[in-house]
Structure 1
Amino acid sequence: MTHTPQSHPLLPELSEAVQSGLPTAISDLGGLVRIPSVSWDGFDPAHVAASADAVRGLLEGLGVFDSVVVSTAPIDADRTGQPAVLATRAARNGKPTILLYAHHDVQPPGNADDWQSAPFEPTVRGDRLYGRGAADDKAGVMAHVAAIRAFTQVVGSDFDLGLVAFIEGEEEFGSRSFSNFIVQHRDELAADVIVVADSDNWDTETPALTVGLRGNVTFKLTVATLEHASHSGMFGGAAPDAMLATIRLLASLHAADGSVAVAGLTSREATTPDYSEARLAEEAALLEGVHPIGHGPVLSRLWDQPAITITGIDAPTVVIASNTLVPSVTVKVSARIAPGQSADDAFRALEAHLREHAPFGAHLTISDVDKGNPFLVDTSGWAVAEATDAMREAWGREAVQTGIGGSIPFIADLVEVFPDAQILITGVEDPDSRAHSPNESLHLGVFHRAILTEAVLLAKLEGRA
């Protein structure tokens, strides 16, 4: 006999509460989007502080937490991290504790001319809300807030489930104080289940639970060949300029098909869902006639193989370029590391490759190294089963277990400090959200279903013996 999963008895009431609260949730999200809380160096940290204060107000307004504070932790002896918000409510009568994570900082907006509407002015067009942070990850913040609102509207404020909300303020700038923060607040952050609302869904109608994450290694690479610029007509053709050396060196990182060609970077063997190159071309916005790179199943390339991208370059611009040999060029290298390999090992492989392939005896300097380990979720725990049931009930479809090409390096830190906690990586994004890019947006139907999923999950955990 086929087993038919039963919906949670409170699903109708929770659905009504989420639906009635959706306009308020969207309005509150818009208020957060208006705060330009870019956590990168060079941007005003007062905006991140204002964002933290706004999040604190939202969590205090729920009326369920014993404590809501804004807190910072050191990065090192000389620097302090951006403000995070920490809210706690102790569990009672043997109930589990759930930690809800998101981040309130955002990426820089980039060129304002590339946006169809102002990046920090939330704008609804069709079924999407546009704005920097509308999806990544202020929608994650509001999914937590709105889910707790709906849950307490249905069950009341006198419940036994333990609740922790941890809303970070520097995820987009490498979570530099994260490891110190969770050690500093170890007791307050301890939980049985950790929900990280910072991933995406299979599409706008199908939920996903992320179970695999690539790691990352990023650094600045400076290639130098000359002590100073020299006349390109007098010395070009004999003296190697840094741009030529940089182009040759960067080209060595990839094979002819565009796959990574660095010895020592590993791949993971795993079965992936069907995903066509045509779908990749559409979702990644390939220009007509441009074909995908790499080999193997598309999702293997995105989830289980390494990737290397040059995300920035410092060199004379075309406008100010003179007829000289460039003495040095600096680039930003961003490598994604397949699950199963440590970021330390990957960095050693990258550094060895670059030094071995430096052309013409070019001098290399590597600086500002940032590393994050990949992660695989243990899907055998009861929390995964509860979460996938909650997704099915909220979305009306079974969840897809996915990997993700991006990285959330701090999850490895969470596992190290809280090894017994079960990790659930969820999200409010979809393939068209364009996180980090101009015209970032949130699909409002996905937002609705993500809130309902979490409200149902809270009810399920409250009911656990």
Structure 2
Amino acid sequence: MEIRKQYIELLRELIAIPSVSAKEAYLPEAAHLIADAFRGLGADVIYDDTYFAPFVLATFQSKVPNAKQLVIYNHYDVQPAEPLDLWATDAWTLTEKNGKLYGRGVDDDKGNLTARLSAIAEYLTEHNNQLPINITFIVEGSEETSSRHLDDYLAKHHHHLSADLVIWESGGKNVNEEIEIFGGNKGIVTFDMTAKTANNDLHSSLSAIVDSASLRLSQAIASLFDHHGNIAVPHFYDDIAIPNAREKQLVAALPLTRDSLITQHGIKVPLYTDRNGDDLKETLYFKPTINIEGIQSGYNSAGVKTVLPATATAKAEARLVPNMDPDVTLQRIKDHLQEQGLSDIVVTKTLGQPGYRSDMSDSEILRVIDITAHYYKAQPIVIPTSPGTGPMFYIHEALQAPIASLGIGYSHALDHAPNENIRLTDYNQHIDVIKELIRSYEL
């Protein structure tokens, strides 16, 4: 347990570094701390700061001939902590309370990293500093901003990279306390949509003859969907990878229900699948999306201002399933707006990355499933893909190895929200599971 306490202290130091990649702040400080921790465990470390978010590659070499290669992916950047007034503790101070640890990044993703470091340290201590496999950590600092330059770093260091299995950044337990294992995630393209209808805001009396930018933008957004909530952009669905029978079977077995989803999140509007009759689980996991993240236009302070806004901007995203190209998808959205007579809407790409799904029948994935089932004494929930996004595509392109995602989280970890937290029980269980995974290669 002393080793685990040592890495909890490392976690405390990491949480204190506000490494928000959206602000490009404090990233080198966090990366240096992590690199030093790897060196302290005896790893061969490459620290590369060619781009704004330093890249850390740390390898633990086995003396076993022809040892297999395990790659573990993590990231040290975090989401902004605002609004700070909604935190019950200081966001940048690791705080223990009632068996939980609170702090920005404690689950996503710094706690997962320190748990895995604990597992390596304990295994080395218990086995005369020897490993049955080679283990390489890939740790980046821009995951929360679409992993900018990760592909460049991977290409630069490709001669150091090979894998039989990749363990992904995070994961956890669902609302039923069942451990989940994911094998993929959606891609994404984010973009701004901007309408400009005049040189400056006008008196609203002119709305009799002049479009406001906010109305123009609203028309553009509405045109992206039909009345059932399906995406109305031509050819948007053309390239999607259709799930196979095994993937559909795994998703169909998930415990998610319409009512539980509505209750969990307090949803107060009809679901798209209520309107279009599609299967809820298949839609959530296997279909692409378009979402409006936020809209800004006109006067939004107290009282009334009779103004006709001259500019309006929306921040938007499309979540992509495998085989969808971010740039092709965005071009189809632009072409659609042109065809709708909305060519004045300026669409500007901000971020993008493709999606990926593992073969969940791969022998190395089955190894992870079996070890997890044995440890928890219950079959894990196996999910071919997450509805969220991450850079799995880049890692798979570089390594050509199956990817399994599991970690320290639970259903109320509040990633990206105020009061992000983990349970110490889950944290310690994940350490045990990673040690069991390493031990499985002794056989």
What TM-score do you get using the length of structure 1 for normalisation? 0.85
CA distance in 1, matches of 2:347, 2:365: 41
Instruction: State the partner residue of 1:105.
Output: 77
Secondary structure, counterpart of 1:437 in structure 2:
coil
CA distance in 1, matches of 2:407, 2:336: 36
Say if 1:208 and 1:401, in contact at 8 Å, map to a contact too: yes
Say if 1:199 and 1:426, in contact at 8 Å, map to a contact too: yes
CA distance in 1, matches of 2:198, 2:337: 19
Structure 1 counterpart of 2:369, from 377, 385, 388: 388
Residue identity (%): 23
Structure 2 counterpart of 1:157, from 103, 126, 129: 129
Amino acid at match of 2:38: L
- In structure 2, relative to structure 1, the CA distance for the partners of 1:322 and 1:70 (3 Å cut) is farther
CA distance in 2, matches of 1:202, 1:335: 25
Equivalent runs, 1:32-431 vs 2, <5 Å = 32-41=14-23, 43=24, 45=25, 47-63=26-42, 65=43, 67-73=44-50, 80-92=51-63, 93-203=65-175, 205-233=177-205, 235-266=206-237, 268-269=242-243, 270-271=248-249, 272=251, 273-283=254-264, 285-287=265-267, 289-294=268-273, 295-319=277-301, 322-358=305-341, 361=342, 363-402=344-383, 403-408=385-390, 410-419=391-400, 421-431=401-411
Q: How far apart are residue 439 of structure 1 and its match? A: 1.8
- Aligned-residue CA RMSD (Å): 2.3
| Structure 1 gap ranges (5+) | 1-18, 74-79
Secondary structure, counterpart of 1:428 in structure 2:
coil
CA distance in 2, matches of 1:106, 1:306: 25
Say if 1:245 and 1:362, in contact at 8 Å, map to a contact too: no
CA distance in 1, matches of 2:5, 2:13: 12
Q: Which segment is superposed worse, 152-161 or 311-320?
A: 311-320
1:30 and 2:12 correspond: yes
Say if 1:204 and 1:443, in contact at 8 Å, map to a contact too: no
- In structure 2, relative to structure 1, the CA distance for the partners of 1:162 and 1:363 (3 Å cut) is same
Secondary structure, counterpart of 2:403 in structure 1:
strand
- In structure 2, relative to structure 1, the CA distance for the partners of 1:223 and 1:345 (3 Å cut) is same
CA distance in 1, matches of 2:269, 2:31: 42
- In structure 2, relative to structure 1, the CA distance for the partners of 1:200 and 1:224 (3 Å cut) is farther
The CA deviation string for residues 131-168 of structure 1, in whole angstroms up to 9 with x for no partner, is 11011011221122111022112222133421211211
Secondary structure, counterpart of 1:216 in structure 2:
strand
Q: How far apart are residue 315 of structure 1 and its match? A: 2.6
CA distance in 2, matches of 1:444, 1:204: 18
Structure 1 counterpart of 2:423, from 443, 449, 456: 443
Secondary structure, counterpart of 1:426 in structure 2:
coil
Aligned positions, number: 427
CA distance in 1, matches of 2:14, 2:82: 19
Instruction: State the partner residue of 1:9.
Output: none
Say if 2:291 and 2:316, in contact at 8 Å, map to a contact too: yes
Q: How far apart are residue 239 of structure 1 and its match? A: 0.3
Q: How far apart are residue 181 of structure 1 and its match? A: 0.3
| Structure 2 gap ranges (5+) | none
Say if 1:197 and 1:428, in contact at 8 Å, map to a contact too: no
What TM-score do you get using the length of structure 2 for normalisation? 0.89
